[in-house]
Amino acid sequence: MSLDADWRADVDAVDAALIDEYQSGFPVESRPFERVAREIAAETGADVDADAILERVRDLREHGVFRRFGAVLNPPVIGSSTLAAVRAPEGRFDEIAEVINGYRQVNHNYRRDHEWNQWFVVTAGSRETRDAILAEIEERTGCEVLALPMLTDYYIDLEFPVVNGDRFARESLDQTEVSATRISEDARGDLTPLDADLLLAIQDGFPLSATPYADVADEIGATGSGVDPTVDDVLSAVDRLLAGGCIKRIGCVVNHVVTGFTNNCMVVWDVPDDELDERGEAVGSLPYVTLCYHRPRRTEQDWEYNLFTMIHGREAEAVDEKIDELAADHLPFTHERLYSTETLKQTGARYEDLVADGE
């Protein structure tokens, strides 16, 4: 299978189940592909075993449908993270982007169509390190930094249905629990040595083998860190990190490019503070909203917005229609639409820094 314009035509029912149904909820047990094989065989009627499922996952990764197989980690819970923005003069835009992107703690940076035109994420092992980086960026660029750490998570997930014709990212996914989850700006600082070693071992994915958790246990034991876990230790640690929010989900992480959801918009809203949780939970439960969270107002910087939403769709016009619907039916408040026009940097957070700085 090759990723040409018609690559979906080569996908059968087993591939479709792996792509659209196993982006999360992958079994946390010693031989997870055996259970997946049984579930897919029961659903599709296909004669597949664990070896066949494993080989299909390998093929889908090799051909670029999956970026990796493993855990999606949650940097704001593990360390201290913030969204930030600067107003970069056009004549210095590339220069300023180069300064910001030079920090390994900056894992995303986008140009957006707004007065605040460069938006980036800083994730560090402590609030002190995070704020020192922001201060240094301000000093080196001469640009005022707008710092907007997440305060409440109403709904955040980026699972994408790929094979079907849905117009929006969550359109046909099962309902996910939505709640007002407070996010501390301070690093947790309560990772066990095994937790820390585990996060480092899995940040780029699990081994694609019949026994991925046992392989991770062996890898950790070979690092010389003094931690030598069994597979049961690793399984318990993964369950614990999932329950604590350090791991968001485990599954096959889809390459965003193949999903077709190339149109997205960050919309910022000025919601009355006493309505924020009620509105945030209601909007977070809508089947076309992929991100919904609370960030602080910065009135001293003329930033009056406190609720952020994102919609990912296959067509720009459809995304705009849903934003109109949000404004008319759910969030009848002042808002601005910040369209992303260029990706300046997009990498995963590096957990060596988070773990070391948080110890």
Average pLDDT, the chain: 87
Is residue 198 located within the same domain as residue 319? no
Q: Which residue range(s) make up the domain with 292?
A: 77-179+257-346
My answer on whether 172 and 288 are in the same domain is yes
Q: Are 194 and 284 in a shared domain?
A: no
* Mean per-residue pLDDT, 311-324: 87
Instruction: Examine residue 1 and state whether it is found in any structural domain, yes or no.
Output: no
* Domain assignment of residue 185, yes or no: no
Q: State pLDDT tens for residues 233-287.
A: 999 999 999 988 888 889 998 876 676 667 788 999 999 999 999 999 999 989 8
Residue of 249, 245, 326 lying closest to 282 (CA atoms): 326
pLDDT at 35 over 60: yes
Same domain, 280 and 326: yes
What is the tens place of the pLDDT at every residue in 253-265? 887 667 666 778 8
Q: Which residues pair with 323 in a beta bridge?
A: none
Q: What global pTM score does this model have?
A: 0.77
CA-based torsion, 188, 190, 195, 200: positive or negative = positive
Closest CA to 201 of 224, 215, 220: 220
Q: What is the CATH number of the domain that holds 330?
A: 3.30.70.3460
Are residues 283 and 330 located together in one domain of the fold? yes
Give one DSSP letter per residue of 154-191, joined into a string.
EEE------SS--SBTTTTSPP-----EE--SS-----
Between the alpha carbon of residue 296 and those of residues 57, 90, 246, 250, the distances in Å are: 41, 27, 23, 30
Domain boundary among 64, 93, 109: 64
Same domain, 39 and 14: yes
Q: Are residues 56 and 162 in the same domain?
A: no
Residues 166 and 261 reside in one and the same domain:
yes
Residues 273 and 339 in one domain: yes
Q: Domain check: are 280 and 316 in the same one? A: yes
**How many distinct structural domains can be found in the chain?**
3
Query: Do residues 85 and 60 both lie within one domain?
Result: no
From first CA to last CA, the distance across the chain in angstroms is 45
pLDDT at 353: 61
Confirm whether 2 is domain-assigned: no
In a domain, 71, yes or no: no
Lowest mean pLDDT among 45-49, 76-80, 355-359: 355-359
